Every structure is written in C-alpha cells, then in structure tokens.
Amino acid sequence: MPSSIYLSAAHKSSGKTVVSLGLCAAFKAQALKVASFKKGPDYIDPLWLAQASGNACYNLDFYNMTNDEIIQLYRRQSQSSDIAIIEGNKGLYDGMSVAGGDANADMAKLLNIPVILVIDANGITRGVAPLLMGYQAFDAEVNIAGVILNKVAGERHESKLIQAIEHYTDIPVVGAVRRAKDLIIDERHLGLMPANESTQSQAFIDGVARIIADQVDLSKISTFHNAQSPIDPPVLTTTTTDLTIAVAKDQAFGFYYQDDLDAFQSLGVNLVYFDTLKAVELPQCDGLFIGGGFPEMQLETLSANHALLDNIKLNIQQGLPTYAECGGLMYLSRKITYQGKSHKMVGVIQADTIMTSRPIGRGYVQLAPSNEHPWNEVAPTIYAHEFHYSKLENIDPKTRYAYKVLRGVGVDNKHDGILTYNLLATYTHLRSVGSNHWTTQFVNFIKEKKIARD
C-alpha cells in the first residue's frame, strides 16, 4: 500500500499548490513513483502536478462523480505507486454546502487519507495554535496528521510557531518553508499559469523541489498511509476500433481530463496529437477534439497559421465529427478580440469572441440536452463546469444549440453547445463519468458518420 497524504489548507492562496509540486518532484527525485491527484474541476494545477510527478494527474470531484467512482479512480491510479499525493482546493472545510459533504475534509475521510495542513504563517505566531485546535475540533473524524508552515519569515518566526503548536496541540510540524521569490508562480485569471505555456516550468519545479527537500521532513511524510482497505478496482476493458481522433495539444490548448483520454483509449480509439501553432493540416483522422486552454495568449501565431485554419474549416464543413470546449470554441469562431486587437480564427462558428477582464462563467453547471443534440444516449441532466473570461457576440440568430443551461452561463445564459455541420462546440467542460459517458457518445457519433460516409 503506498504512502498517502492529502494536502489542504485553512484557506485558498496558502501556497499548497507550490508545496504539492515540491513534494511530488522531491519524491520523484528519490526515484519513487508518485501518483498525483487534484480535488475539484481544475486543469491548470494538474498540468503542473503531472510534470512534477512524472505521471498523469487525475481529478477527484464530488459534483460529478459518485463516492464509488472517486474511490475506484483513486485506487486504480495509486495502487502501483510508492506515494500518492492529493492536492485539495480552497480550505479544508470549504465547499458548496454549509452542512458539508463536498469539502476536502469529506474527500480525505472518504479515502481515509491523513491530512497535512499547509498554513500561511504570514503575520501569525501564537495564533496558529487556536487555529489548528479549531480545525481539529471541528471534525474529529478528519485525521490532521501534520502541518507544513509556509511563508515563514525566518528562524525566530519559525521557533515561535513551532513552540505554540507543540505546546497546545499534538500535531507534528513536518516542515517550515521560508518566504522566497523562487516559490512564486505567475498567476492568470483561472489560477496558476499553465505549465504547458512556460518553457521555464521544469526549472521552476526543480528549484521548488530542492527547497522542499531541504525544509520539509520527507521521511516523516512517507510514513503516512491510507488506512482504508483497498477495493478491487474495475478492470478496464479495451474495445478494438479503427477510429482515430485528432487532439489539439500545445501551448494554446492543453485542458483535458486524463481519465477522459484514458476512456477514449479504452474504447480502442487511436489519439493523435497535433500542434495548432505549427501543423499545416490535420493529421488523418475520423474525428477532432479541441479542448480548452488559453488561445488568447497565442493569438498572433494561431492567426498566422492560415493553412491550418483553412484546413480545419474545410474538414468541418465536409462533415468531420468535431467536439470543442471553451478555448476550442473560441478558436473555431470568426475572430478573437483581446486587449483591443482582433485576430482571425477558423470561422466555422458564426460568432465573434470577445475577451473580458472579469469572468463570464465560472463554476459548476447543469445542462439538459435539447432536441437538437446530435449524439445518442445523452444523460437527461449533465453535471459539469465552466471557466471562461470570454463571451460570444454577433451570434447568428439561426444558431442551433445542444443544451439548455439549468445552472451556469454557457453561451448566452440560456443555451450552450453550438451546433453546425457535425460540430458540437461548448463553453462547458464535460467529464466522462458514470452519469455522463460523453466519450462513448462521441465515439459512437463518429462511427455513425464514418459508416454513412463509407
């Protein structure tokens, strides 16, 4: 059974992501196999955690996964590792419900994993004691097994913090990380800057790993274990098909759930990745998937690649089954306007994208498929999420939509999922889980169109 820890905090922006990165990379440097996970709907942190650990990072989410699905995914991806690290979101007890049930604490209890609290020590000394005592008393079933003090000012500050914790609590201090410019990642509107955009990301991770290895007791942390008896994870069967799906994956597009990509492969689909910044045409494929990302940060290069823009437009107009999410939707619109400048995009969606300074849609959504939805066996209610700082303008009034928005924003507060040709493009990010096997639906749609074409 691998060592297991759940990294959480008293509140967001405590530095737990950087600490998580450092721990993943530091344990990897010890030649250990590290399994990483992220709670909630997040693409950016998992990109960093995957790079730091050297293995794919998986999301665990109460909103669209059952408890059994969470347990099975965690067990399946951690069982062959030496240590499993889950990074929480927000604070330990923060969630959608005031009564709890969907917080980090609940996830830690469900998986029976010891929690390490990352405490932002900036401006606090003795006050850390009642803070930790309160967190312990709030839910005695949560195993707070250790504390990592973060943003510590110096030796004197560290000494005061440790004395207070040791005097008033029984929680061991397993690390004290000093303030350092080397521990700061540039932030972007969705959170941390995606690792796939930064050529210096590995150098940053290596630097953080050295600091964490020096200031955190890795040997102590490696003794923390999941006490829950493992369940037998389901065996993933692979169905053989002759389908190929082209997937955009580069500095502009990189937001994909790893278990969605796994689901495609379990269906026997061959995934071929291509670079929208460099490729001049799509690879030979039966379907196209363009996920989310930050295309606005690569507008000049994307727009200058006329050959690929024209090739994608032609393929979609000729009936290539295509699915696009958020950044992918923006890329397929006529143009993207950002900071006063407009750049031509694919133009197969009759709408213009405008970048905004504030979030338009941010958080969990609920969708109901409309009668226009082209895929079969679509769930009556879809639980997913959206994060976009853009909106569509000058939308063709004849536009057809795949979804009615029950919660969230989507394209116009009422609809999401623009339909044209065999394209479905949405602001919503879907997750292929028990209540919504969208990967199977899309693959079946591709099969239908291929049979009809042949």
Residue 396 burial class via C-beta count within 10 angstroms: exposed 0-12, middle 13-18, buried 19 and up: exposed
The closest of 141, 117, 314, 344 to 227, measured between CA atoms, is: 141
- Enumerate the active-site residues: 326
Give the strands of the sheet with 34-39, arranged side by side.
Answer: 57-60, 34-39, 83-87, 3-9, 115-120, 144-152, 173-178
